[in-house]
Amino acid sequence: MRNELAKSVIGTRRLVLRPLREGDAPAVFAGFNDWEVMRFLSSPPWPYTLADAESAVRRSLDATTNPDEELRFAITRKDALIGIIGVRHRAAGEHQRAEGYNIGYWLGRDHWGQGLMTEAARGLIAHTFALTRADAIYSGAFAENTASLNVQRKIGFVPYSETVLYSRPRDAMLPHVNTALAREAFEKIAA
């Protein structure tokens, strides 16, 4: 399943989600070199460099053979990388459920407010449920990231716990909301 998912190209109404490619590092760097994007993320360094982007893309290319790596997909619109969405079969952190698929994502600021992240997340979630026997998919966001929590709510995610999570870009422990999406709930909403 992992190899099949890792090689997937997922089309939605306005987007194509495809595996990252070696040439994607400059676009990843451009998106991550925006504090308004980075301040809501937990693990990337800040400031973010082109070398960081190149390393992230290389790790993504290794994901088919390394089960600890997140499977990352470029969110593309008209062939331009506008964000990344990823899925991994492990908890995102020690305070999230230990077992199950977890998604994370970011979108370049120029593309906010257009429903694109909701569309991308629905596409990846539908594909993940189709290829796995997962009964739920997990996610979450820092409590102040209401836009991301709204994306999750629209898809059917519900909060299941609150915790404090480290934000590397902000070098601070911040309130975090953990969310879960049951397969059955997603299928009802998607129908």
Confidence (pLDDT) at 94:
60
Please tell me what DSSP assigns to residue 22.
Answer: G
Q: Phi and psi (nearest 5°) for 162? A: -125, 145
Confidence (pLDDT) at 4:
78
Torsion over CA: 91, 186, 175, 170 (sign) = positive
What's the CATH architecture for 2-190?
3-Layer(aba) Sandwich (3.40)
11-56 pLDDT, tens digit per residue, is: 999 999 999 998 999 999 999 999 999 999 998 999 999 999 999 9
pTM of this prediction? 0.92
Burial 51-84 (b: 16+ CB within 10 A, else e): ebbbebbeebbebbeeeebbbbbbbbbeeebbbb
Average pLDDT over residues 176-186: 95
Query: Which band of pLDDT confidence, cut at 50, 70 and 90, is reported for residue 190?
Result: confident
Confidence (pLDDT) at 89:
81
- Cis? peptide before 47, omega within 30° of 0: yes
Confidence (pLDDT) at 189:
86
Confidence (pLDDT) at 95:
57
116-151 pLDDT, tens digit per residue, is: 999 999 999 999 999 999 999 999 999 999 999 999
Query: Which band of pLDDT confidence, cut at 50, 70 and 90, is reported for residue 5?
Result: confident
More confident residue, 13 or 93: 13
Confidence (pLDDT) at 91:
61
Query: Which band of pLDDT confidence, cut at 50, 70 and 90, is reported for residue 69?
Result: low
